[in-house]
Amino acid sequence: MNNAIDRPTDNPTASPAPAELVRGLYADLDAERITEALARIAPDAVLHVPGHHPAAGDFVGHDGLATFLLTSAGIAAVDEEVEDVLVGAHTVAALVRVRGTREDGRSLDNDTVHRFRIEDGLIHEVWFHNLDQHAVDAFWR
């Protein structure tokens, strides 16, 4: 097994390792550093959100990602806990526990996998895969 892609580099201009890129994205989003988060994402990136609810669909580019963040934030407060990051040559899978609450008392506690396609040191595509899609749909409706 080759772990070279996740080792620190002595070249300060080199792209971050894929796991570092993804962990940094979550840290930036958690701290509401949106400009820094977007710097990790290709301008034409696509986010694929499954389901049958207002925050589902394909979101393209930085504007699309902002639309997704604003739409979901307008519906509920959520907390994402990254439990582990699995790294491949051009793919990172983050095992994430998503918890949320709504003003009407509904709550969500869902394990999900966020799969990232990485190219040239940037995130180009993201897919959400929910353990319990039915519960996710019910929460976000």
Q: What angle do CA 63, 16, 9 make, to 5 degrees?
A: 170
Q: What is the pLDDT of residue 2?
A: 43
Residue 29 phi, psi (nearest 5): -65, -40
Q: Please report, in tens digits, the pLDDT of each residue of the chain (141 residues total).
A: 444 434 344 444 556 799 999 999 999 999 999 999 999 999 999 999 999 999 999 999 999 999 999 999 999 999 999 999 999 988 999 999 999 999 999 999 999 999 999 999 999 999 999 999 999 999 999
pTM for the model stands at 0.86
| Calpha distance 71→119 (Å, rounded) | 27
Would you say 70 and 58 are in contact if contact means Cβ atoms under 8 Å apart?
no
Q: What is the pLDDT of residue 14?
A: 59
Can you list the domains of the chain with their CATH numbers?
Answer: 16-140 (3.10.450.50)
